[in-house]
Amino acid sequence: MKTVRFFAPLLCLLWLGQACSAADIEEEEGVLVLKSANFEQALEQYQHILVEFYAPWCGHCKALAPEYVKAAAKLKSENSEIRLAKVDATEESELAQQFGVRGYPTIKFFRNGDKSSPKEYSAGREADDIINWLKKRTGPAATILADVSAAENLVESNEVAVIGFFKDAESDVAKQFFLAAESIDDIPFGITSNSDIFAKYQLNKDGVALFKKFDEGRNNFDGEITKENLLNFIKSNQLPLVIEFTEQTAPKIFGGEIKTHILLFLPKSVEDYQGKLDNFKKAAEGFKGKILFIFIDSDHSDNQRILEFFGLKKEECPAIRLITLEEEMTKYKPESDELTPENIRDFCHKFLEGKVKPHLMSQEISDDWDKQPVKVLVGKNFEEVAFDENKNVFVEFYAPWCGHCKQLAPIWDKLGETYKDHESIIIAKMDSTANEVEAVKVHSFPTLKFFPAGPARTVVDYNGERTLEGFKKFLESGGKDGGIDEEDLKDLEDVEEEPDVDEEEGATIQKDEL
């Protein structure tokens, strides 16, 4: 008895110490706050943990935050063992470097305390996307549905869900279904052999159905059940016929198989907003799986860069543009500004038939475009100046908001001053956010290209030092010292390194940020 009394205070201290240790990890709205000091502890304490590396100033991180909190709360309500955590990568730079954080947010999934190879999160940025992705990583690719209530719960609790109905769950077609389920991270799959579930959803033979809380509500697969056919079916039906572009939907929009997008820039404050959106939806019905129909609130401040990318101003909206997201992004503009279903359908049909020419933006030619040492080019005079057979033309393609371009500006002005009286060298610049040309595709700012005299229409990419002396040496060598021909440049593109995290934000035009 004395022994028990002797050890009791010690046991109490040990228990309190464990409790304090477990409580050391701070939480904010159900999300663990990790730092270098408690990161190891979190990995040991939780078998499955999703970690967001963020920056407080990052707009994408701010947009993700409420969905991340919502996902954490839902998992907690389900008594899940999965935990969500976050790391301020600007404060915890060693952790960020250790896990290869190169942009924000970066989200990684850790299992069983393993730090050597965390899985990169690759799904959408809505709470359901996060939860579905995590459940796929911690459980079976498809949940076995034993009764009607299990099937109803799967359908009712998710925006999109897929159920495989197989009388023999070990059959070859059921195995193809499982293979498809393993390939899709952001949609929950269920599989059943239960006759009551077959009856509930009106099936009398093997089949697959996609359930969704929008448009027609349900799509039944029709065809040979193979992994590839199922994936095509799901990808064609998982998105709404018309989807709004937001931070949360962007990964679904740009990560999908459909690379032709038609965009309706529609301010939510406009008169007859719903009528215009309904017209857009009517036009969309015939292009499922071919063209993705997207609408964008042109009044929203987050979308102003997108308007700029398409050369649109708020007062010009509502407006429609079409873009293809292949190796090169190409834009198209309808001939008519009337947004009737007939006009939109006609525009889409003509595009698919190859009868619509790309739309290249151009400002008007200024009266004094050639009065300064640095000549001001726009789309409408670019060809005439850059490919003048008697001139060697050195052009900076810039963006007004680009920090690197602002740093280069005084050097470029000095270069123009140096060659203002030269008989065959022209120094020029072009605002590539407002002007586009067929001969040059600009992917980052500033882009510097040299157009040597002669009939060959040669384009030389400048890759030397961005100094006055470097530019002069390049020009005096006829574009040899510091230059690389565009044909040779193509061979090098595959080995280029990604830009560092601290590189100017927005310096590269990303397809998912249009």
Annotated catalytic sites, by residue?
Answer: 58, 61, 402, 405
Which DSSP string corresponds to 454-472? STT---EEE-S-SSHHHHH
Single out the residue of 330, 476, 501 nearest to residue 392, CA to CA. Answer: 476
Contact in structure between 126 and 174 (CB atoms under 8 Å): no
Distance of CA 341 to CAs 185, 298, 437, Å? 35, 20, 31
Helices assigned H by DSSP within 201-317: 227-237, 250-255, 273-284, 304-309
Supply the angle between the helices 127-138 and 59-77 in degrees, to the nearest 10.
Answer: 60
Supply the angle between the helices 273-284 and 341-352 in degrees, to the nearest 10.
Answer: 40
Rounded to an integer, what distance in angstroms lies between the CA atom of residue 307 and that of residue 317? 9
Rounded to an integer, what distance in angstroms lies between the CA atom of residue 201 and that of residue 178? 20
What phi, psi does 329 have (nearest 5°)? -85, 120
Residue 244 CB-density burial (10 A; 0-12 exposed, 13-18 middle, 19+ buried): middle
Q: Which pair of structure tokens corresponds to residue 470?
A: 């470097």
**Residue at token pair 């030269």:** 422
Contact in structure between 136 and 183 (CB atoms under 8 Å): no
**Residue at token pair 């899985």:** 119
| Amino acid code (one letter) for 317 | C
Rounded to an integer, what distance in angstroms lies between the CA atom of residue 53 and that of residue 501? 12
